[in-house]
Amino acid sequence: MAEVKLVNISKTYKEGTLAVKDANCIINDKEFAVLVGPSGCGKTTALRMIAGLEEITSGTLTIGGKKINDLPPSKRKISMVFQNYALYPHMTAYENMAFGLKIQGTPKLEIKERVMEAAKILNITEILQKKPGKMSGGQRQRIAIGRAIVRKPDVFLFDEPLSNLDAKLRGQMRIELSKLHRKLQATIIYVTHDQVEAMTLADKIVVMNKGEIMQIASPMEVFQNPENKFVAEFIGSPKMNFITGKILSQGDQLIFKQAGFQVELSGVRFKKLNEFKGREVELGFRSEDVHASPTALSHFFTMEVLVVARELLGNEKLIYADFKGQDIVARFRSEYEEKMNETVKFFVNTQKIYLFDKASGQRIN
């Protein structure tokens, strides 16, 4: 089994920078796990510690139940695909894929069998005699992946492998990587800052921020049940809308209130809401839960907003608005006729709102 387990893994550099703090995560055998987060969040450092390219300051790393903290990269049974492909420009595709096996002393016949097998999986047989300078970005990416496949590792590591490709090719390669995972039935750990890649590819998403793991869950669980404001804001496009206010009592009911605006919370199930009476919170809702009309909703609250911009996306459009100085985004059908620089009403589904503690950012359940 190629289960990867991080137990209280931390990385502190000599100058005192804490890059990863107490990371705990289990990546199951044959699972496709994606580490996602903004630049500088520690995801690549975590990947490099798994690869053996960064020393672990504290904690325990195991692969297949064996502690590997002190094993050199060559002994870890992992293969890594880098962001810049790291191909030898003077070698053909075949030679690039075969090089690691040649260094290990693998017999020539076995090298040929492994390279041809990987080339067939990746549909690159016809370019094996080309050098990297004569290849497209997508072809170079496939060669880098093929070089990883021929080693037959227990774990594949990918460090933002699609970031150098154009948008169309990135979309195609996401599909290819998903197919490849099903073919290889391998454990894959993949780093990206692109949440679309994360949501598309992952069995499990590990969201990171400032060196810490914010949430570990399936893509839909992370999207539908974010544990904190950071996850709610980072996962989803466009990002979740937020309004700042307080939880107050009104008779025997609790309400969310901002100056001149309130939302009744009696019909919404928040078990711990009483603990936050009198405290500042943030009310969150996604763009798809905003409606132009209340007729289809039994539970909604109304917002008067100033329309400031729109973005046409084919069969739908994003409407950007200002609500008391806070930015709001709504997703409507393209037929919606926006009234630019005018005040209009938005209707928000109360059953789809989230509440977050303003101080800690943690979600209120």
Tens-place pLDDT, residues 7-19: 999 999 999 999 9
Strand order, beta sheet including 343-349: 290-291, 343-349, 300-312, 316-323, 326-333
Q: Which H or E run includes 189?
A: strand 187-192
The Cα-based distances of 322 to 245, 291, 300, 307, 355 in angstroms read 16, 16, 19, 7, 20
Q: Where in the chain is the domain with CATH 2.40.50.140?
A: 241-357
Tens digit of each residue's pLDDT (9 = 90 or more) over 274-303: 899 999 999 999 999 999 988 666 688 999
Say how many C-beta atoms besides its own lie within 10 A of residue 146's C-beta: 25
List per-residue pLDDT tens for the chain, 365 residues long.
Answer: 699 999 999 999 999 999 999 999 999 999 999 999 999 999 999 999 999 999 999 999 999 999 999 999 989 999 999 888 889 999 999 999 999 999 999 999 999 999 999 999 998 999 999 999 999 988 999 999 999 999 999 999 999 998 888 888 888 889 889 989 998 899 999 999 999 899 999 999 999 999 999 999 999 999 999 999 999 999 999 999 999 999 999 888 899 999 889 999 977 778 888 899 999 999 999 999 999 988 666 688 999 999 999 999 999 999 999 999 999 999 999 999 999 999 999 999 998 999 999 999 999 98
pTM: 0.91
Residues 348 and 304: their CA atoms lie apart, in Å, by: 11
Amino acid at 7: V
DSSP symbol at 240: P
The CATH number of the structural domain formed by 241-357 is: 2.40.50.140
The Cα-based distances of 183 to 121, 138, 179, 180, 228 in angstroms read 8, 19, 6, 5, 35
Residues 112 and 94: their CA atoms lie apart, in Å, by: 9
DSSP 330-343: EEEETT----TTSE
Q: Where in the chain is the domain with CATH 3.40.50.300?
A: 4-227
Buried (b) or exposed (e) across 241-275, using 16+ Cβ within 10 A?
Answer: bbbebbbeeeeeebbbeeeeeebebeebebeebee
Closest of 257, 262, 260, 263 to residue 277, by C-alpha = 257
Tens digit of each residue's pLDDT (9 = 90 or more) over 52-64: 999 999 999 999 9
β-pairing verdict for 32-36 and 187-192: parallel
> Domain 4-227 belongs to what topology?
Rossmann fold (3.40.50)
